[in-house]
Amino acid sequence: MKHIVLPLTFLALILIVLPQTRAADAAASMARIGAGESPAQRDARMAWWREARFGMFVHWGLYSGLAGTWDGQPVATKGGMEWIQQRVKADTDTYAQRALPLFKPTPDFAREWARLAKTAGCRYIVFTTKHHDGFALHDSQTSDYDAGSKLHRDLVREIVDAARAEDLRVGFYHSVIDWHHDQYCYEKSKQLPHPLKGRPYPNGTRDHNQYLEYLHAEVNELVSNYGPIDILWWDYSAQDFQGDEAWRATALMQLVRAKLPAVIMNNRLYRSPEAGWKSMGTEGYIPQLDPKYGDFITPEQHIPATGMPGVDWETCMTMNTTWGYSDHDHAWKSDETLIRNLIDIASKGGNYLLNIGPKGDGSIPPESVKSMQAIGAWMKVNGQAIYGTTASPFASLDWGRCTRKGATLYLHVFNWPTDGTLLVPLRNQVGGARLLAHPSDSLTVSASSEGVRIRLPARAPDAIATVVALQIAGEPQVIVASSATTSQH
Ligand code: GLC
């Protein structure tokens, strides 16, 4: 009894002396950080990803050779053709019989991907180690529905090696949904897709636990055999089937972290509000995430209207409307849209994961090559206005967007001013301003009651987005609308 009196008195003293808010803050953040990680440790782990801002997503697998065609007919001209097996309701034997002969990777495909990512200015690649169809791209001991068994190649190793040779970080997209596995209990979810949905299990009964043993063993191979993988990009869960029940998610994440302590994982093993989701559908996300459910939120095909302060997020997006290659989808986004999306996302504090869908031989559609090169050319001049930047201090700017790195504001001008003057609604003292396209010329800057005025050349050096780097003293003091009030952001 005596022994605990002193510690208890001491504890009571601490509780009185410590400002209550600090104690509450500390308790709250410890609760938020999973696996005993402190906020500072988490920041250190996330640092490269936050700095990177731009990654290349790759959807590639058996569906790529089918290219959106079944029975000689286009399945659709829009939408995800990596779902073709589900769209035509084929069982795995039928699907594989048709798709396998069309999936013929060239020897050099991975080096082409990695070179293109590098040229575009991407800092990381995330690619499909297995999509919903269940075909694994590595050489797996747990399955014979894999590249090792069918092609006598380990395509995951080829891609990882090629990415590392270009000094890119590497992420695995891994589908926890699996349409090929004979124990995957698709009847457990009304919301998750399956080609045989509505039909009884062909093998009578199924034991989902057996599928989970398989899934965990397969992931264990992926996190054990390819060195320090940087990202695990899970896909995906439903409100009616998620987390521990659906995937033994806690154990799955622990298994990954045990092998890869620095790994960064997305939130798609869950579909709950605490994990950043409010509903199904591509706009079903919300700006909150308890770190025990993942490190970042994944808005799909969508850029949040405002940023998500305090939450890490990454918009993933296609260049046309499909993730996996289709011969029939010609709705390509323009270079202008893609470059401005990247800027828009960076100005809101997020990352852009831009998808390519290579063909069955691994070659990249020329439209995607061309656009990635255009982004790369822009990044070569303006990359410092994207990498390592933080969100804009302005709620909106009628001429474009802003990113920030310490005392430098990067002003991305989309609409070149016709009167030759760029008005920046700031009250700060400013240093110099220069165009990243012509860094040795300084621009004339003056102060006015409406803000800082920068004289620009008559013509925009880059019609898509010309960047002005402006030095400011102190924290940005934004002039809000036409009233003379200032606010600190
Ligand atoms: C969706 C789709 C899928 C695609 C992914 C990318 O969840 O099912 O085909 O891989 O989103 O975010």
- Nearest atom, ligand 1, residue 59 CA: 10
376 exposed, middle or buried (CB, 10 Å; 0-12, 13-18, 19+)?
A: middle
Residue 32: which pLDDT band, with cuts at 50, 70 and 90?
A: very low
Q: Whose CA is nearest to atom 12 of ligand 1?
A: 300
Encode pLDDT of 388-412 as tens digits.
999 999 999 999 999 999 999 999 9
What tokens were used for 289? 């995430």
Determine the distance separating the centroid of ligand 1 and the alpha carbon of 59, expressed in angstroms.
9
Alpha carbons 485 and 427: distance in angstroms, whole number: 10
Q: Say what angle helices 249-259 and 208-224 make with each other, to 10 degrees.
A: 20
What SS3 class is residue 404?
strand
User: Which spans in 135-207 are helix H?
Assistant: 147-151, 155-165
pLDDT at 169: 98
Alpha carbons 110 and 160: distance in angstroms, whole number: 8
Q: Which of 56, 178, 298, 300 to mutate to test the pocket of ligand 1 (most atoms within 8 A of CB)?
A: 300
> Where would I find the beta strands (DSSP E) of 97-254?
124-130, 169-175, 231-235
Determine the distance separating the centroid of ligand 1 and the alpha carbon of 235, expressed in angstroms.
7
Q: Locate the domains of the chain by residue range.
A: 8-385, 400-484
Say if domain 400-484 classifies as CATH 3.40.50.970: no
Instruction: Assess whether the C-beta atom of 323 lies below 6 angstroms from ligand 1.
Output: yes
Encode pLDDT of 79-136 as tens digits.
999 999 999 999 999 999 999 999 999 999 999 999 999 999 999 999 999 999 999 9
Alpha carbons 104 and 66: distance in angstroms, whole number: 11
Instruction: Assess whether the C-beta atom of 179 lies below 6 angstroms from ligand 1.
Output: no
Determine the distance separating the centroid of ligand 1 and the alpha carbon of 476, expressed in angstroms.
39
> Where would I find the beta strands (DSSP E) of 202-357?
231-235, 264-265, 314-317, 351-356
Among candidate residues 319, 358, 351, the one with its CA nearest the CA of residue 336: 319
Q: Is the peptide bond before 236 cis (omega within 30 degrees of 0)?
A: yes
Determine which helix (DSSP H) or strand (DSSP E) holds 57, and give its type and residue range: strand 54-58
Residue 482: which pLDDT band, with cuts at 50, 70 and 90?
A: low
Q: Whose CA is nearest to atom 5 of ligand 1?
A: 235
- Nearest atom, ligand 1, residue 175 CA: 10
Instruction: Assess whether the C-beta atom of 235 lies below 6 angstroms from ligand 1.
Output: yes
Alpha carbons 412 and 344: distance in angstroms, whole number: 9
pLDDT at 312: 98
Looking at the chain, the whole-number percentage of residues with pLDDT higher than 90 is 89
Alpha carbons 131 and 357: distance in angstroms, whole number: 13
| 8 A C-beta contact, residue 231 and residue 124 | yes
Q: Tell me the mean pLDDT in the region 456-482.
A: 94
Alpha carbons 4 and 2: distance in angstroms, whole number: 6
Looking at the chain, the whole-number percentage of residues with pLDDT higher than 70 is 91
Determine the distance separating the centroid of ligand 1 and the alpha carbon of 33, expressed in angstroms.
27
Instruction: Assess whether the C-beta atom of 82 lies below 6 angstroms from ligand 1.
Output: yes
Instruction: Assess whether the C-beta atom of 63 lies below 6 angstroms from ligand 1.
Output: no
Residue 182, φ and ψ in degrees, nearest 5: -80, 0
Determine the distance separating the centroid of ligand 1 and the alpha carbon of 407, expressed in angstroms.
39
Beta bridge partners of 452: 424, 447
Say if domain 8-385 classifies as CATH 3.40.50.300: no
User: Which spans in 248-365 are helix H?
Assistant: 249-259, 335-347
Do the domains spanning 8-385 and 400-484 agree at the CATH topology level?
Answer: no
Residue 481: which pLDDT band, with cuts at 50, 70 and 90?
A: confident
- Nearest atom, ligand 1, residue 131 CA: 10
Alpha carbons 317 and 197: distance in angstroms, whole number: 27
Q: Which of 282, 323, 352, 354 to mutate to test the pocket of ligand 1 (most atoms within 8 A of CB)?
A: 323
Residue 36: which pLDDT band, with cuts at 50, 70 and 90?
A: confident
- Nearest atom, ligand 1, residue 128 CA: 10
Instruction: Assess whether the C-beta atom of 58 lies below 6 angstroms from ligand 1.
Output: no
Residue 13: which pLDDT band, with cuts at 50, 70 and 90?
A: very low
Determine the distance separating the centroid of ligand 1 and the alpha carbon of 284, expressed in angstroms.
14
- Nearest atom, ligand 1, residue 301 CA: 12
Q: Are strands 421-424 and 314-317 parallel, antiparallel or unpaired?
A: unpaired
Q: Tell me the mean pLDDT in the region 324-335.
A: 98
Instruction: Assess whether the C-beta atom of 233 lies below 6 angstroms from ligand 1.
Output: no
Q: Whose CA is nearest to atom 4 of ligand 1?
A: 323
Determine the distance separating the centroid of ligand 1 and the alpha carbon of 93, expressed in angstroms.
23
Half-sphere exposure of 146 (CA within 13 A, CB side): 21
Determine the distance separating the centroid of ligand 1 and the alpha carbon of 344, expressed in angstroms.
22
Encode pLDDT of 160-199 as tens digits.
999 999 999 999 999 999 999 999 999 999 999 999 999 9
pLDDT at 413: 98
Alpha carbons 110 and 173: distance in angstroms, whole number: 16
pLDDT exceeds cutoff 90 at 5:
no
Determine the distance separating the centroid of ligand 1 and the alpha carbon of 107, expressed in angstroms.
27
Determine the distance separating the centroid of ligand 1 and the alpha carbon of 319, expressed in angstroms.
14
Instruction: Assess whether the C-beta atom of 316 lies below 6 angstroms from ligand 1.
Output: yes
Among candidate residues 92, 247, 103, the one with its CA nearest the CA of residue 175: 247
Determine the distance separating the centroid of ligand 1 and the alpha carbon of 163, expressed in angstroms.
22
- Nearest atom, ligand 1, residue 173 CA: 10
Q: Which of 59, 235, 266, 355 to mutate to test the pocket of ligand 1 (most atoms within 8 A of CB)?
A: 235
Q: Which of 236, 271, 280, 322 to mutate to test the pocket of ligand 1 (most atoms within 8 A of CB)?
A: 236
